[in-house]
Amino acid sequence: MRYTEALSAPSSSSQAANKTLRNTYGLLSLTLLFSAFTAGLSVTMNLPHPGLIITLVGFYGLLFLTHKFKNSSLGILFVFALTGFMGLTLGPILSMYLTLPGGGSLIMSALGITGLSFLALSAYALISKRDFSFLNGFITVGFFVLLFAVIAGFFVQMPALQIFISAGFALFSAAIILLQTNQIVRGGETNYIVATVNLYVSLYNMFLSILSLLGMANSDD
């Protein structure tokens, strides 16, 4: 009996991880579509950017509510509220790039690179099944380094610093995607609402970072 239980335990753990992964990817796909819709709506209506304070209050307020209700159906509602809000804040940024020569191509290139990066990172985490917990240290240090760089960027207008910040956020986001997917696979993350939000925010930041890098490269041509 004990031998049978020992055999069934890994199987149950694997099934739970696969269920979390399916739910996460399913919800992530829907939120990305909804976010794209609200971003497109913002561009079409030519909505102004809400500003830093409203953006931060809206983001962290909805993020708090999402985590608070992560174990109920309200959590899903707040996930869509959060991602829809972030789509609205993305719209004015896209509108700005669309006014630039070749802006549409820059946006599509950034989307393509972000999508391919996500697929590659996810595939690597799923196939290798290595323990990427060592990335926790990199993410913690990276967060404070980027925070310091962003604050410095308000006072020092240096192209090299802006490139560092954008590249840093792209790498930071890649590390979170790799770690979050790995945690799901290994059973460390069982809440698909939390996992969805983490992956969405990482994709959002990665897209903006790549778009910024492409924009700076285009301006130098």
Would you list the domain boundaries of the chain?
Answer: 16-220
Distances (CA, A) of 32 to 43, 79, 180, 202: 16, 11, 17, 12
Q: What is the pLDDT of residue 205?
A: 94
Alpha-carbon gap, residue 150 to 147, rounded angstroms: 5
Q: What is the pLDDT of residue 143?
A: 83
Taking the CB of residue 153, how many other CB atoms lie within 10 A of it?
Answer: 14
- pLDDT per position as a tens digit, 4-18: 444 444 556 778 888
- pLDDT per position as a tens digit, 153-202: 777 778 888 888 889 899 999 999 998 998 888 877 889 999 999 999 99
What is the mean pLDDT of the segment spanning 20-45?
94
Structure tokens at 219: 């301006």
DSSP state of 102: T
Which stretches within the chain are classed as H helix? 2-44, 52-68, 73-98, 103-128, 135-155, 159-185, 192-220
Q: What is the pLDDT of residue 221?
A: 57
Q: What is the pLDDT of residue 7?
A: 42
- What's the whole-model pTM score? 0.89
Instruction: Give the contacts of 159 (CB within 8 A, at least 6 positions apart).
Output: 216
Q: What is the pLDDT of residue 112?
A: 95
Nearest in space to 107 (alpha carbons), one of 33, 218, 32, 29: 218
Does the pLDDT of residue 77 top 70, yes or no? yes
Residues in the chain: 221
- pLDDT per position as a tens digit, 85-135: 999 999 999 999 999 888 899 999 999 999 999 999 999 988 887 777 888
